[in-house]
Chain A
Amino acid sequence: MWRNLVRLQCQARLAWSTRQSRRARFAVLQPATDLSTATSERKKFYQDVSISQREDGLFEINLDRRKLKTPGGKLFTVPNEALAVAVATEWDTQKDTLKFYTMHLTTLCNTALDNPTQRDKDQIIMASLKFLETDTICYRTEEPAALVELQKNEWDPVLNWVEKRYNVVIGSSSSILGPQIAEETKDTFRQHLGSFNFWALTGLEFVITQLKSVVLSFGLIDRHLTVEQAVLLSRLEEEYQIRRWGNIEWAHDYDMYELRARTAAGTLFVHLSSESSTIKRKLMQD
């Protein structure tokens, strides 16, 4: 939608060109309110990317000589090395133009640092649990029979696993209202989510909104499923229709890869933000 708005604005000016070389020449002449920077294309203005650690243990990203900053103007700091390395790799792999829509980890870090919606932990937990009422896994169809069968075979095991692991009752339903979630279930989940830190919660909410399912996200975070499996389960009906009617690469594959990339980024973000590792060296005893 943003692209169309920008295009309408741009076509009002005859001298406009979407080609990169012309934009670079016009970059100085165009006013600061130019909407062209709203599109996700900026030239790569650095050569080297490196990470450095501060005295308080936080890591920063350096593009050439300059330190990376968030869109809100804050200094870009991450709490651990693994995340810093991954973000640096994202910036390092950009060629010619910066494609921000491929830098998912950077976007997640920016969201966690800036908190543009000004939410605290409880609000994020509330927003995440709201998805439970319309969870993909719990929302079953009644026909065609093959799809019902597929949903039962693929989704029921995950549902049973979550119910057993957290000792809750969720259940599935094929009515239009969806399943009725008990208050105790929500309380259990709320308590569990409260144990995550703010960064991990940001990542988890992102994963939930991408997969459209709280159950699948828990399965992914608890390492019961891989990213590919979770994405497949989330898109189960689409996969069924693809198998029936055929695959369209520029739509189906495109969506699938984008969903996989975002979910993988979210999962990695959650895991890296909530882990701490130590190495215990054991002496060999003969």
Chain B
Amino acid sequence: MAAAASTSSPLRVFRGILKELRALKGPQYRQTPAYNYVLDQFRKNQVSSERYCRAQTEALHSSHSYLCLLTSTRCHLTLHKLYHGKGQRDPEQVATLVGLRLPTQPGGKGWEK
């Protein structure tokens, strides 16, 4: 198994997060606090004098996790809407499916107010 998140460059992760934010919010994604914060963090962590900067790798891993969170919640929600979102039909609909109608009881049922 590959070692840490070295397989994805910071630029790719950053672009991915921006794409997710744009997909979620639409054209106003630049005004969200998330956009400003992510931009800020990536800029701050860009410059580092050490060759192996621990803070940089940590920040990269966290941003990779955040990208994974955004992508997977979106995909999960899409799949949920596609397959599990419909819920149940109410009894009137079920009755009309088979061509029947529900009985009406003038005066209401015993437990209805």
Give the chain A neighbours of B11 by CB distance below 8 A: none
- Complex contact B33–A50 (CB within 8 A): yes
- Complex contact B65–A271 (CB within 8 A): yes
Find A89's partner among B34, B76, B77, B90 (CB 8 Å cutoff): B34
- Complex contact B83–A250 (CB within 8 A): yes
Q: How far is the CB of B39 from chain A (nearest CB, A)?
A: 11
Q: A67-108: which residues lie under 8 A (CB-CB) from chain B? A: 81-82, 85-86, 88-89, 92-93, 99, 102, 104-105
Complex Cα gap A105–B69 (Å) = 10
Most chain B beta-carbon neighbours within 10 Å: one of A14, A16, A154, A226: A226
A233 at the interface (CB under 8 A from B): yes
Give the chain B neighbours of A104 by CB distance below 8 A: 69, 73
Q: How many residues of B are in contact with the other chain, CB < 8 A?
A: 42
Complex Cα gap A264–B20 (Å) = 15
Give the chain B neighbours of A15 by CB distance below 8 A: 112
- 8 A-B contacts (beta carbon < 8 Å): A19-B90, A85-B33, A86-B66, A102-B73, A223-B57, A225-B4, A249-B83, A257-B76
Residues of A at under 8 Å CB distance from B?
7, 11, 14-19, 50-51, 81-82, 85-86, 88-89, 92-93, 99, 102, 104-105, 154, 157-158, 223-229, 233, 249-250, 253-254, 257-258, 260-261, 264-265, 267-268, 271-272, 275, 277, 279, 282
